[in-house]
Structures are given as structure tokens and as C-alpha cells.
Amino acid sequence: MPRAPSSPRASPKAQATAAQAKDIDAQLASADRHCLDHGLKLTSGRKAVLQALLRRGGTAKAYELLADLQSGGASVAPMAVYRSLDFLVAHDIVHKVASNSSFVYCQHDHHRHHEPSFLICERCGSATEWDAEGCHAVVAQALKATGFAVHGIEIQGLCAGCAQTDKLTTPATRGNR
């Protein structure tokens, strides 16, 4: 019997497909290797937080991760989630998006790289890491005379999905003025 599509309220664990699960396993293994290579330990708690983040597509807020972990029956304290996220951010496995207090899995093999840039959807709240080396150079050069140092860029707008929804729901009245 075919399964009904999962509802938006279904847990992230239930929504993960086999391909997503394989990707998550590879990302967890990559994070574990990164930690071992740098004399760090990806503890079970840190790994659980990272796995919850990956199950949400690599972007989430701390309280969403806490709820996901607690929904599995685990007794998890909020500070444990925040400490795990602090560790993951400090070691370039995850980035923190300041403008919406979310966390994003780093897509750059966990090495120190340029300051991250994020595209943040003001409607759905998604935050996507954007590789914009050239953008950083232009902004840094433009700000050089001010003495302002750039430590990341966050650009707000509409993601492709929300922009498409706008196109489909906005009446075509612009040409009829």
C-alpha cells in the first residue's frame, strides 16, 4: 500500500528519504573526520545536534533542533544544544546567521575559508550559504576608506520558491495603470 505524503508537521526524521539519509551519513562522517584531523571530538551530543540540523536540510534555529531531539524521547537541555552549536560554529562545521539566529551547515568541507555569505529569505526564513568570493572583495574594497572590516555578508530577499509563489499569486495588474 503506498504511503501518504508526509505532512509539513511530520518530524524531519520521517521526511528523510534514503538518498537524504545517505547524504546525511556522508556529512556526519566528514564532520567526524574533520574533528579527528584537528584533535577534536565529535561527541554523541554534538553529533545528534548536527544530525538534527542536517535532517532539516542544513538550516535551522536552535529551538527547532531542541524540539526535534526532544521529540525522539531524549531528555536534552537547551544549553546542551547551544554548547554543541557553539562547538560546531567554532570549528567551521556550521555557520551562524546573525540576522535570523539560525544555523547553516557549512558546504566547504569544514576548512577555514572566506567569510561566509548568506542568502536569507524574508518570507520562509531559509538561509543558504552562498559562495561569493568576488562579492566580498568588492564590498571590502568599497568599505576600505571607512575602516570598516567585513566579516560576512547577509543578503535578504526572497528565495526561488517564495519568489515563484509571488509570481503565481500576484495579479497581472502592473501593465494596466
- Give the pLDDT band (50/70/90) at residue 7: very low
89 and 119 together in one domain: no
155 and 70 together in one domain: no
163 and 133 together in one domain: yes
Sign of CA dihedral 116, 119, 120, 125: negative
- Give the pLDDT band (50/70/90) at residue 171: low
- Give the pLDDT band (50/70/90) at residue 109: low
Question: 117: helix, coil or strand?
Answer: strand
Rounded CA-CA distance 66/70 in Å is: 6
> In the predicted model, what is the mean pLDDT of residues 151-158?
84
Examine the fold and report which residue of 110, 130, 156 is the final residue of a domain before the chain moves on. Answer: 110
Q: Which residues form the domain of 66? A: 1-110
| CATH number assigned to the domain comprising residue 147 | 3.30.1490.190
Phi, psi values for residue 153, rounded to 5°: -130, 135
4 and 72 together in one domain: yes
35 and 98 together in one domain: yes
Q: Quick one: which of 55, 65, 48, 47 has its CA closest to 24? A: 55
| Residue ranges in the chain assigned as alpha helix (H) | 12-15, 18-37, 44-55, 62-71, 78-90, 133-143, 160-169
Q: At what angle do helices 18-37 and 44-55 cross, to 10 degrees?
A: 140
**For the whole model, what pTM was predicted?**
0.73
Per the structure, how many domains does the chain have? 2
* pLDDT tens for each residue of 56-78: 988 999 999 999 999 988 889 99
Whole-number average pLDDT of the chain: 82
Q: What is the pLDDT of residue 164?
A: 85
